[in-house]
Each structure stands twice: as structure tokens, then as C-alpha cells.
Amino acid sequence: MTILGDFKKFVFRGNVIDLAVGVIIGAAFGKVVTSLVNNVIMPPIGYLTGNTDFSNLKILIKNGTKPEDEVAIKYGAFIQDTVDFLIIAFCVFVLITIIGKLQRKKVTKEQELIPPAPPAQEVLLAEIRDILKSKPIV
């Protein structure tokens, strides 16, 4: 096969497309969660802590004449990103838990439709019966 054919085969496998969709949905979900944290969760927390804007909290190491010349440890942005991560992780946990429960219900419904296998003795007796039926009567 050619390189182009191999690449086409690779790209159009189900796993690659599923992964691409997951990455795109994940990026969009990340933006929604970031907005939730920045605009809904952090303002009340900032209000409770004395109108503190967490994204601006920092330890200044070197003051600069311009903002880009400044050297600082921006621990407020770290707090913000940590809250983002915890919310995303919790949402993924809830989503996976729900999907797992739905799959278990689906499996149990399918198992109800399939009759249970007969015991080994009955299978053996049925085989003996079939062998006896196939032999001519003398």
C-alpha cells in the first residue's frame, strides 16, 4: 500500500475519529467550565474573602516599567486553574458513572432476553438421544 492509502486507513478508523470528536468536545467543555468558574463560582468566593480577585493574586519578584517586564509568581491564576480542573474532573466522573450505569442496565436487559443454558447433564442426555435417533432400528 502507499503512504497515502495507509494514512487514509489510519484516519478513518473508528478510534481516531472518536478521539478527534472527544478532543473537540473536551476543548469546548473546557471553555464552558472556565466561564463557569470565572463568572459564577469565583466572584462569590472573592466576595466572601473580601472582594479578592483570585486571578490577580501574585507575589511580585521584580517590578518592571511595563507589565511584560514584571516577574511574579501568579498563584491566583493557579488557584483559578485548580478550581477549573476540579470541576472538569468532577463532571467527567459523573458522566462516566452515568454511562457505566446505563451500560450495565443494557447488559442486564440483554441477558434477560437470552434464556439460560441448560445444565451439562441435560445437554449430554440430549446428545445421547440424538445419537440413538440417528441409528436405524434393528
The domain spans of the chain are 3-132
Q: How confident is the model at residue 110 (pLDDT cuts 50, 70, 90)?
A: low
Q: How far apart are the first and last CA of the chain?
A: 64
Domain at 3-132: CATH architecture: Orthogonal Bundle (1.10)
Per-residue pLDDT band for 73 (boundaries 50, 70, 90) equals very high
Category of 119 on φ-ψ map: left (φ > 0), alpha (ψ -120 to 50) or beta:
beta
Mean pLDDT across the chain: 81
Q: How confident is the model at residue 1 (pLDDT cuts 50, 70, 90)?
A: low
- Whether 60 has a pLDDT exceeding 70, the answer reads yes
Average pLDDT, stretch 97-122? Answer: 77
pLDDT confidence of residue 111:
66
Task: Identify the bridge partners of residue 62 per DSSP, sorted by sequence position.
Answer: 71
Look up the pTM and report it: 0.52
User: Looking at residue 109, what is its pLDDT?
Assistant: 66
Q: Decide if pLDDT at 16 tops 70.
A: yes
**Residue range 49-75: mean pLDDT, rounded:** 82
| Residues 95, 124: Cα–Cα separation, whole Å | 47
